[in-house]
Chains A and B, each alone.
Chain A
Amino acid sequence: GENVEQHPSTLSVQEGDSAVIKCTYSDSASNYFPWYKQELGKRPQLIIDIRSNVGEKKDQRIAVTLNKTAKHFSLHITETQPEDSAVYFCAAYFNDYKLSFGAGTTVTVRA
């Protein structure tokens, strides 16, 4: 199956600063890359995704970039707020919509 690596495992930022999380994947056939946010005790929530035919996608304060040649993709959160504190997971599809997840990044936004 797909192998997805995610860095860093923890990230602490000052409110208002930017946060960047990076992921790499192994299967060159992967064509869909979602990002999930999981707050404590809650289900993972899809926050943004990108398909392999685009290099960048933005939704308000969050953006995702994809480099298919290098097989890596990144999540960018600008103007961070306390409510952005959560665990973020990157993922990639392999074999019929199965998701392989990265290990997760715990983001803490300091007020």
Chain B
Amino acid sequence: SAVISQKPSRDICQRGTSLTIQCQVDSQVTMMFWYRQQPGQSLTLIATANQGSEATYESGFVIDKFPISRPNLTFSTLTVSNMSPEDSSIYLCSVYPGTSGWNEQFFGPGTRLTVL
């Protein structure tokens, strides 16, 4: 499986500020996604990070709040903008390698964000 890293692993931020989370994969992957996991909850898909084009957002998530970049096939960033305490969550990137002929999707270690 792909080796996925995220930076930072955790952060504490003030409301009104922005944080950019990085996701790095050790090999080229077909698809990259960003998920949010609120405390004690399940995972919710924020968006699909498209290489070389604008991300595709799910219902309830917008580009102005969660701008995403994917400059190449191994790297993506998610920015949480104008943060409020409600944004306190774990943010995880996931990848679909697309090379094995199967459908496995793997997760990064997550970024634990606390907004004060």
A: which residues have CB within 8 A of B? 1, 32, 34, 36, 42-46, 49, 51, 89, 93, 96-104
Contact = CB atoms under 8 A, between A and B. Distances in A.
Nearest to A42: B109
B106 A46 contact: yes
Given A1-B58, A34-B104, A97 B45 contact: no
Interface of B: 31, 33, 41-45, 48, 58-59, 92, 94, 96, 102-110
B59 A1 contact: yes
Contact of A34 (B33, B42, B105, B109): B105
A102 B33 CA distance: 17
Q: What does DSSP make chain A's interface, helix, strand, loop or mixed?
A: strand
Contacts of B45: 98-100
A42 B9 CA distance: 11
B103 A44 contact: no
24 contacts: A1-B58, A34-B103, A42-B109, A43-B92, A43-B108, A43-B109, A43-B110, A44-B107, A46-B105, A46-B106, A49-B102, A93-B103, A96-B48, A97-B31, A97-B96, A98-B48, A98-B58, A99-B33, A99-B45, A99-B105, A100-B45, A101-B42, A101-B43, A104-B42
Given A1-B59, A43-B110, A97-B31, A49 B42 contact: no
